[in-house]
Amino acid sequence: MNPALKTWAGFGGAAVLLFAVAPAALSDFRLNLLAKFLCLAMVAVGIGFAWGRGGMLVLGQGVFFGLGGYLMAMHMKLADAGPGGVPDFMLLYGNGVLPGWWEPMRSPVVTVLAILVLPAALALVLGYAVFRRRVRGAYFAILSQALAAAFALLLIGQQTVTGGTNGLNGFRSFFGYDLADPLNKQTLYYICAGVLLAMVAGVRLLMNSRYGELLVAVRDQENRVRFLGYDPALIKAGAYALAACFAAVGGALFTPVAGIISPADVGVVPSISLLIGVAIGGRATLLGPVIGSIAVSWAETGLSERFPSIWTYFLGGLFIVVVAFLPNGLASLTFRRRPSPATGKQTQPATSVDLPATSGGHP
């Protein structure tokens, strides 16, 4: 089958599973649990694009996940408080005065725009500043991880405006819809499924675009790309910003689905857990990060229910086995079985591209 047709066939199959099979086969509790996993898979899509295509080992996506989650939580708390009201935790922990930077979040439009723009803009500025200085590899990974740790500590230390270790919770409505209504919860699941599929489709288009080719070229031959007149820092920062936007949207939808957002969801450990799912699924493939993220999340839940004291060992063993024997993830199995049309031998997916023959310019 044509690779493009195969990809879109897999995309269509995923849509059928998410919109038809899952709602019919799962209970309300399990469907809500799957909605949480879909939100985490949104982060994985961005990680797969930045890491698998761009070679950027991002260990701090919890920062952008948390930014999106807290922005949405601020709006929901203000909506529950009513016009001119103050969130309940500010009355409990503080002096009951709403900070000025909370006030814009009363508007649904401002909230949505902030979720889409602020994390991406922050990632673009930070990414360009870091990549401009040619920081890469383990140094960039450590830097992004330190950013996640600092963000979690900041949230914990500002209890009067962020809820501290308890985070923000107790939401009653989502853009005017009662969250206690099972029908609204199911609608929220459909929103999560639709947004995830839209992200996957968007990444698919980017992978086949000129920008996607340049991103792979920067990953494999950054100096050559620079000599041809392109700015590798800008190309990499764009992918990093897109991954941040995806993480923020995932966090924003996770907040009403889970009913809480706290520092425990945005620190170093959650960021690494998101990366593990991408590595297991296959970081260089389209659907691998999604499948790996959902599988790891489901395994964490299932194993913790059956083996509450030792489930982490099972999960660690799975990660070690996949990394040791399938370094390209579970998705690489499909490529290993694909014969070459000319020789009949097994082939591997291409990991690099030829650079366009140009003397200068930017994408």
For residue range 188-241, list pLDDT tens digits in order.
999 999 999 999 999 999 998 999 999 999 999 888 989 988 999 999 999 999
Lowest-pLDDT choice from 60-74, 274-288, 338-352:
338-352
What pLDDT is attached to residue 1? 58
Higher pLDDT, 105 or 358: 105
* Residue 288 located in a structural domain: no
Average per-residue pLDDT for the chain: 85
High-pLDDT (> 70) share of the chain, %: 90
Question: Using one digit for the tens of pLDDT, what is the confidence trace for 323-357?
Answer: 777 777 777 676 544 444 444 444 444 444 444 44
> Domain tally for the chain?
1
Asked whether residue 227 is assigned to any structural domain, the reply reads yes
Do the domain assignments include residue 326? no
Over residues 254-266, the mean pLDDT reads 93
Q: Is 31 a domain residue?
A: yes
Closest CA to 236 of 144, 139, 148, 130: 130
Answer yes or no: is 238 within a domain.
yes
Q: Which structural domain range is residue 118 located in?
A: 17-266
Provide the whole-model pTM.
0.87
Q: What is the pLDDT of residue 331?
A: 72
Looking at the predicted structure, is the pLDDT value of residue 253 above 60? Answer: yes
Please tell me the distance from the alpha carbon of residue 128 to that of residue 235, in angstroms, as a whole number: 9
Tokens of 182: 């099972």
What mean pLDDT comes out for the span 68-90? 92
> Looking at the domain assignment, is residue 215 inside a domain?
yes
Give domain status of residue 145, yes or no. Answer: yes
Q: Is residue 4 part of a domain?
A: no
Does position 312 have pLDDT exceeding 80, yes or no? no
Helical residues (DSSP H) of the chain, grouped into ranges: 3-16, 22-25, 28-47, 62-81, 88-93, 108-132, 137-157, 159-162, 182-207, 210-220, 222-227, 232-258, 268-281, 288-306, 311-325, 332-336
Per-residue model confidence as pLDDT tens digits over 117-148: 999 999 999 999 999 988 887 888 888 888 88
Of the pLDDT bands very low, low, confident and very high (cuts 50, 70, 90), residue 3 is low
Helix (H) or strand (E) holding 60: none
